[in-house]
Amino acid sequence: MIKKYTKKDGTTAYMFVAYLGVDPLTGKQKRAKKQGFKTKREASIAEAKLQAEVQANGFNSHLNITFDEVADLWLEQYKLDVRESSYNVVYHMVKNEYSKKFGKMKVRSITSIYCQKILNEWHSKYATFRKYKTYAKQILAYAVQLGVINVNPFENVRTPRTKDTAQTEELLYYTTDELQQFLQYVEQEDDLMYSVIFRLLAFTGMRKGELMALTWRDIDFKTKQLEINKTIAYGRHNKQIVNPPKTKNSNRTISIDEKTINYLQRWKLHQQRELFSHGHKLNQSNQLVFSNVITNQALSNMTITKRMNGICEKYNFKRIRIHGFRHTHCSLLFEAGLSVKEVQARLGHSDIKTTLDIYTHVTEKQREESAEKFAKYVNF
């Protein structure tokens, strides 16, 4: 479009605003504006040349494309390959951490030296720094694939050594004595739901999401078995999503001890009375085992964690993560003499290496007794 305008000195000049189409790299509409032409014909010729050049050679947008723009393109593809909950985790990582470090930088200006500096910062800040490197590297690899850059700057970055976590190992789980003490503290709080929740976590090794998604039809009181076939995860805007279990092996049936069964039966009756008092229908086949009795909706993500933190603070007791009950259960299984394969099946690990890498260290009690067991074995 050719426009006539008056310059500051009062003379007449011409300009054009040309629509050049949609940039295939960014998906954004591209327009060009140029002015200062003496005649309408000059402006028309310049506009035609620009459009012909773009049609023949494409856009040069890759020269100025930013990390954020490439990241948005990469996220669109990543979203097609993973669950919404997994996408949500990476999305927030990209929009928060990556945007701070790389966001408005032109991809072509990102160097290996800069990437090394950022990775070192992540190493000092996050235990999961390797994960931060992984996705940043994938985004820049996508930039290579798009032809924006020729070499991924993260290819030449040296990954720092993983921090020694031996000093915090004891905080990952409870020993037998510690678990017994913690459960006693929970009992003193006189809240049956949480007594059942923490006992079930410790005596089944369920993940928190699996416990939150548990329904009464998943529990067979006659055979004393519990079926794990779903999990609650979180998507965009913290929306709860019911997903299949984490892996194929996570879909499993596990046995429950008699005392835990009794706890569950007591809680079922108590829950029914509570739900009825708040006007909710009872005995629904999809009734959650643990829910907010006022709304009968699934517990929020941090509800159990906050409850545990409150108990530990009140009794000045060692605090572990909720996932630490899964670790605790594994230690108890090994202490009880179960094989690695049996532990793998009960915890639902798809790869036995996971069982060995994360859960094979024995409890403190076993370590203390190892010398005595050896002496009895050799017997001289």
Name the strand (E) or helix (H) holding 243. strand 240-243
pLDDT value for 167:
43
pLDDT value for 116:
96
Instruction: Name 220's Cβ contacts closer than 8 Å, sequence gap at least 6.
Output: 226, 227
Is 376 contained in some domain?
Answer: no
Asked if 245 and 228 touch (Cβ cutoff 8 Å), the reply is yes
Do residues 89 and 180 both lie within one domain? no
Do residues 37 and 173 both lie within one domain? no
pLDDT value for 325:
93
Q: In the block, which residue shows the tokens 């017997």?
A: 379
pLDDT value for 155:
92
Residue 18, phi then psi, degrees to nearest 5 = -110, 135
Do residues 89 and 230 both lie within one domain? no
pLDDT value for 280:
86
Do residues 250 and 118 both lie within one domain? no
Do residues 209 and 352 both lie within one domain? yes
pLDDT value for 335:
79
Picking from 117, 141, 163, the residue at the C-terminal end of a domain is 163
Is 380 contained in some domain?
Answer: no
Q: What is the pLDDT of residues 274-302, one digit of tens each?
A: 999 988 876 677 899 999 989 998 888 78
Q: Which residues does the chain have with pLDDT short of 50? A: 165-167, 363
Name which of 139, 165, 166 is nearest 153 in CA terms. Answer: 139
Name which of 301, 292, 294 is nearest 238 in CA terms. Answer: 301
Is 221 contained in some domain?
Answer: yes
Please, where are the H alpha helices in 79-191? Answer: 84-92, 99-101, 112-125, 129-145, 176-188
State the CATH number of the domain containing residue 139.
1.10.150.130
Do residues 183 and 328 both lie within one domain? yes
Is 143 contained in some domain?
Answer: yes
Is 377 contained in some domain?
Answer: no
pTM strictly above 0.75: no
What is the number of domains present in the chain? Answer: 3
Q: How far is CA 374 from CA 84, 203, 335, 360, 362, in A?
A: 51, 29, 16, 19, 16
Q: Checking phi first, is residue 190 left (phi over 0); if not, alpha (psi -120 to 50) or beta? A: left
Do residues 216 and 235 both lie within one domain? yes
Residue ranges making up the domain that contains 147: 67-163
Do residues 55 and 81 both lie within one domain? no
Is 379 contained in some domain?
Answer: no
Picking from 14, 33, 59, the residue at the C-terminal end of a domain is 59
Do residues 237 and 194 both lie within one domain? yes
DSSP class per residue in 40-78 = HHHHHHHHHHHHHHHHHH---GGGT-BHHHHHHHHHHHH
Do residues 97 and 123 both lie within one domain? yes
Name the strand (E) or helix (H) holding 66. none
Is 375 contained in some domain?
Answer: no
pLDDT value for 311:
95
Q: Retrieve residue 215's tokens.
A: 């329904």
Do residues 117 and 131 both lie within one domain? yes
CA 218 – CA 226 distance, rounded (Å):
6
Is 378 contained in some domain?
Answer: no
Do residues 153 and 174 both lie within one domain? no
Picking from 106, 141, 163, the residue at the C-terminal end of a domain is 163
Q: What is the pLDDT of residues 31-42, one digit of tens each?
A: 778 888 889 888
